[in-house]
Amino acid sequence: MSVLRIFSYLPNPRIAKATIAARLCGVSLEVRGAPVQELQDWLWDFDAHPLSVEERDALRHCVRTGRTGFTSALYKTDAFLAAHPFGAVPAAFDPSGQTGIFESNSILRAVARLGDGRVPLYGSDAYSASRIDGFLDASLLFARDTQLYVLALRAETVSAGLHAAAQQAFTSYLSGIERALASGAGFIAGGTLSLADICFAAELALFHNERVHHGQLHRAGLAPVLSDGVAAEHPLAWAHFGRLCAHEAFAPDIEPYLEAFGKH
Ligand SMILES: N[C@@H](CCC(=O)N[C@@H](CS)C(=O)NCC(=O)O)C(=O)O
């Protein structure tokens, strides 16, 4: 039986954080969702499902304007918004549907806690767990600026300001990861694979969206952030990303996702 239900657009590397951790911990997840353009015709709820025409008519009162990444109206139930006050996906629920878990890093933490004892992905004590939290917090800062950039690329509205913020966030995050790996311990937060590595791989995979927008960047006189120079500037981080992508727990999610953007 699944111990967590997650609703999202698919594929989504942020949901891959949870599915990778679940593979490693032996936790069973239920994933519901569809490609991003189809979620406007889905019920955003614990019982998420594609809506029939009749249901859409009956649920007009649930229609809300999308805020981030969605320009269409979305059918979010009151129960969904009670469980997920920020109204975003990925959206996870406990088996009763009463407890909503939001933010992909916290959904990732939930999987690790549910699989506790099998693989110590979330540290071995308060200190190591908190160090992992630090990497997850740093990744969220990276993710915030790069989300705005990737969404603007998709909408063909990228500006020099958004590009500069993404470049700054990218360099700052990758520099920290590079320094962490320079200890030689083998993984980002220490000597074993942790949530910090899973989050890093998923967020960097997501950033590969930039690759299909090189034409737009060129027309705007902007250089790709994810350029050939990244491997030279951040060699440890880049090699670690390559190793993680090939890892048996990561590959089922990350490899097909990256294939859509060409080889990394
Ligand atoms: N930092 C969040 C990002 C979640 C997020 O912003 N989701 C957007 C899609 S990219 C969303 O659900 N938007 C709903 C809306 O526009 O109403 C995470 O990692 O889970």
Instruction: Tell me the pLDDT tens digit for each residue of 63-106.
Output: 999 989 998 999 999 999 999 999 999 999 999 999 999 999 99
- The answer as to whether 227 is a domain residue is yes
Residue 65 CA, closest ligand 1 atom number = 17
Q: Is 89 in the pocket of ligand 1 (CB under 6 A)?
A: yes
Choosing from 54, 80, 114, the residue where a domain stops is 114
What integer pLDDT is reported at residue 1 of this predicted model? 84
What integer pLDDT is reported at residue 264 of this predicted model? 57
What integer pLDDT is reported at residue 263 of this predicted model? 60
Where are the extended beta strands (E) located within 77-142?
A: 91-93, 100-102
- Asked if 42 and 50 touch (Cβ cutoff 8 Å), the reply is yes
**Domain with 102 in it:** 4-114
What integer pLDDT is reported at residue 107 of this predicted model? 98
Q: CB-hemisphere CA count at 13 Å for 55?
A: 12
Instruction: Tell me the pLDDT tens digit for each residue of 105-141.
Output: 999 999 999 997 778 999 999 999 999 999 999 999 9
Spatial distance between the Cα atoms of 80 and 68, rounded to a whole number of angstroms: 17
Instruction: Provide the residue type at 239 as one letter.
Output: A
Q: Is 69 in the pocket of ligand 1 (CB under 6 A)?
A: yes
Q: CB-hemisphere CA count at 13 Å for 14?
A: 22
Going edge to edge, which strands form the sheet with 49-50?
A: 49-50, 42-44, 73-76, 63-65
What integer pLDDT is reported at residue 118 of this predicted model? 79
CA quadruple 218, 223, 224, 230: dihedral sign:
positive
- Asked if 202 and 135 touch (Cβ cutoff 8 Å), the reply is no
Are both 132 and 246 inside the same structural domain? yes
The torsion of the CA quartet 74, 7, 138, 126, rounded to 10 degrees, works out to: 140
Q: Which of 81, 79, 112 is nearest to 96 (CA)?
A: 79
Choosing from 92, 114, 136, the residue where a domain stops is 114
Q: What is the pLDDT along the chain (264 residues), one digit of tens a residue?
A: 899 999 999 999 999 999 999 999 999 999 999 999 999 999 999 999 999 999 999 999 999 999 899 989 999 999 999 999 999 999 999 999 999 999 999 999 999 999 977 789 999 999 999 999 999 999 999 999 999 999 999 999 999 999 999 999 999 999 999 999 999 999 999 999 999 999 999 999 999 999 999 999 999 999 999 999 999 999 999 999 999 999 999 999 999 999 998 865
- The answer as to whether 56 is a domain residue is yes
Q: How many domains does the chain have?
A: 2
Going edge to edge, which strands form the sheet with 100-102?
A: 29-34, 4-9, 91-93, 100-102
Q: Is 135 in the pocket of ligand 1 (CB under 6 A)?
A: no
- The answer as to whether 18 is a domain residue is yes
Out of 14, 105, 151, mutate this one to test ligand 1's pocket (max ligand atoms within 8 Å of CB): namely 14
Are both 86 and 161 inside the same structural domain? no
- The answer as to whether 201 is a domain residue is yes
Q: Determine the distance separating the centroid of ligand 1 and the alpha carbon of 102, expressed in angstroms.
A: 9
